[in-house]
Amino acid sequence: MPEAIIRKGKKIFYPIIAPKLFDEQELGEIPLYDLRESIGRTLKLNLMALTNDPKRQNVNISFQISSVDGQRARTEIIGYNLTPNSIRRMVKRKKIRLDDSFVVKTSDNKLIRIKPFLVTAGLARSGALKGLQRNLRIILTKNIAKMNYETFLNELISYRLENDLRAQLKKTYPLVVCKIRAMEIEKEKKKEEEEEVKKKEIKKEKVEKKEKTEKKVKEEKKVEEKPKEVKKEVKKEKTVSKKEK
């Protein structure tokens, strides 16, 4: 059983610490009665503030407090996003924008939803776009499967991941932009998936029952119609026999 958190006295400002990737620098402070209350809370910071590099102001990093270490809250990275303004500036006339979203797995079995963003050098045809999307998925899935989560984050934040991707995709079609628009940890959806499966099964059963009842009704109608036809034939025979007499 978890210990009850007693709220007494004044709130204390506890420091929030970044992961090793950002040299465990202080991200901010959180006012709480008990530091254990902070676990699960999230915060978002601009990459420029974390690296002191103005060229990286187009990226926001999402953190989640994952554990408590003495009087400090430890975090992990759960998201990466390009700012909407930077994306708008990259898209220009007489170019085609290609977005995708799919789940990949790291070597330490971390499920990640990754959202690449491409802009072609010209008005590419549908065949070239399909080739880009297919190769995009193959390359990223294969490369990320070789990395653990920490290495993946390092490659993503240093832009090496998207630079390698662009170099390989250029063989398919020339690109003006090749970026990872967003990344987030894919949450387990087992309960939701089970509920959806159950709903589908119930729906299927209802449809099958409906089809069976309709089939029975049709068969019963056919059975009812056959004796009537026989009676009509009998009547015709009787009228013929009377005429003969």
Q: How many CA atoms are closer than 13 Å to the CA of 193, on its beta-carbon side?
A: 4
Weakest mean pLDDT among 18-22, 65-69, 166-170, 229-233? 229-233
Regarding pTM above 0.75, the answer is no
Lowest mean pLDDT among 57-71, 119-133, 167-181, 192-206: 192-206
Distance CA 195, CA 193 (A): 5
Domains of the chain in start order, with CATH, are: 10-80 (no CATH), 83-189 (3.30.479.30)
Please write the tens of the pLDDT for every residue from 8-65.
678 899 999 999 999 999 999 999 999 899 999 999 999 999 999 999 999 999 999 9
- pLDDT of residue 190 exceeding 80, the answer is no
Contact criterion met (CB below 8 Å) for 136 and 104: no
Mean pLDDT of 142-170: 94
pLDDT at residue 1 above 50?
Answer: no
User: Which neighbouring-strand residues pair with 157?
Assistant: none
Tokens for 63? 């953190």
From the list 8, 13, 4, 9, the residue with the least C-alpha distance to 32 is: 13
In this prediction, residues 193-201 reach a mean pLDDT of 64
Out of 56-70, 127-141, 201-215, least confident range: 201-215
Among 22, 24, 28, which Cα is nearest to 56's?
22
Cα separation of 101 and 169, whole Å? 17
Is-contact 93 121, C-beta < 8 A?
no
Q: Among the ranges 93-97, 198-202, 232-236, which has the highest mean pLDDT value?
A: 93-97
Q: Is the pLDDT of residue 126 over 70?
A: yes
Bigger pLDDT: 190 or 50?
Answer: 50
105 near 70, Cβ under 8 Å?
no
